Amino acid sequence: MAATILSPQCVPSSDIDAGYVDGKRAGDTIKYPDTPFFRGPLQPSRLECDMVELEISGRLPKDINGTFFRVQPDPRFPPVYEEDVNFSGDGMVSAIQFHNGHVDFRQRYVKTDRFNAEDKYRKAMFGRYRNPYTDNEMVKGIIRTVSNTNVYFWRGTLLASKEDGPPFAMDPITLETLGRYDFEGQMKAPCFTAHPKMDPDTGEMVAFAYEAGGNGHDASCDIAVWTFESENGKLTQERWYKAPFCGMIHDAALTKNYLVLPMTPLKCDLDRLKKGGNHWAWDPNEDQYYGIVPRNGHEDIIWLRADNGFHGHVVGAYEDENGHIVCDLTVADGNVFFWWPPDEAAAGPHSMQAKARQKLISDTFRWVFDPRSKTNTRVTPFKKYGTNGEFSKQDERFLTKPYNHFWQLQMDPTRLYDIQRCGPPAGGLWNVLGHYNWETEIKDAQLAHSKSQSLSLEKGLKMKEMDISSQFSTISMFKEMTF
């Protein structure tokens, strides 16, 4: 094993400080905030390493060959503000490589412009989440993204993305950062989604950006939508739209003819940013919106509205025999991001201690949208699947088509759960991988390791049970299931 811990040099004992004074960093001692975002399962590792021959419990089929990539926030330095959240943490990409019955592990930071700037100063220089008005003057104008949300392949390159900036390209073998990726100069917006959609039939990438008209952090209501060809990387369509307000559009749904943009009533306000406040504030009185964008042609976007809710990730989408859009996704019944409360609920520099993780219900809803509807038409769910989970996954070979099976992370408090590290079971914490069937409404679940991030490797629709362990994490694959 070869490892590098990326941390500053030790400071003399006379310079040791208390870490935070009135909620802001004081001194250079490496001391992270004592909040849930920096302890337990979210404690920073700050570790780049190569490890060969991971321990395996169970039997690993030798015909599983390839690499599983993941990305996560891993703050290299303690944040400027004590109330910061791990969404601001530097992106750390892991590669778990399977080859002929062996498993190796590699982990590297995404060397973004922000990472390199803070490397120069050996401390955090960027302020609150997506608020450039709180940054150190020495880093003004530097792209702030940390590329910590998703990784995906595009034309032989691994792209690490976060929706507040451009993707960063990485070598999929070495995990070396190759630099900012702007699709060969074709993407001019300041930001790019972490969840582009790949059409399995055409090979096209359909992507979008919200808050795309300025610098990505200034409450712009502009939305950009792009289509890129996979064979030559050519941009074939670029369209711009206006949102009803500057809200969060984290994920999207793709069908043969449409892109659906769920807009969550987390709102950005420029005056609040200039005063040093949060980028987002939850509006419990605002509707959730669904923007319907035609993939071909230049028709305007249609906005459909529904009662207040907080969008999770999309399960799948397709068009039915009537030309209607069937769109499945999780929607929570309250503010999942409790650390960004409504404006009137903000309570000052230490309000994080008073904010509690809410016990929310996050069911999977099936919506049926008529793309011929007029803007501001109100819609209601066609069906609810009582899953109370998040991070759904379908077989992406069936993206844009009718599908039946999907998988989703779920919390089952009756099962094994690491309460000492994770705290009481609540929204945003999971210990079970659930399997669901739309047609029969039968659901079953597989228990993940109590400290693990779960994944599945599909070969047909069969999975084997095993644990692959390193000192950093446990990767679980589950016992054989045939559908």
Cα–Cα–Cα angle for 165, 166, 167, rounded to 5 degrees: 120
d(CA 183, CA 188): 9
DSSP structure string for 203-239 = --EEEEEES-SSSSSS---EEEEEEE-TTT--EEEEE
Q: What sign has the CA pseudo-torsion 318, 248, 44, 421?
A: negative
Place of tokens 């702030």: 144
Question: Which pair of structure tokens corresponds to residue 336?
Answer: 């999942």
What is the number of other CB atoms lying within 10 angstroms of the CB of residue 360? 17
Distant-in-sequence, close-in-space partners of 472: CB < 8 Å, separation ≥ 6: 45, 47, 94, 105, 107
Q: Quick one: which H or E segment has residue 477?
A: strand 474-477
DSSP structure string for 128-143 = STT-GGGS-GGGTTS-
Q: What are the binding residues?
A: 195, 250, 313
Cα–Cα–Cα angle for 436, 438, 444, rounded to 5 degrees: 20
Q: What are the binding residues for Fe cation?
A: 195, 250, 313
Of 208, 213, 195, the C-alpha closest to 268 is 213
d(CA 32, CA 283): 30
What single DSSP character describes residue 82? T
Dihedral angle, C-alpha 239, 399, 151, 221, nearest 10 °: 30
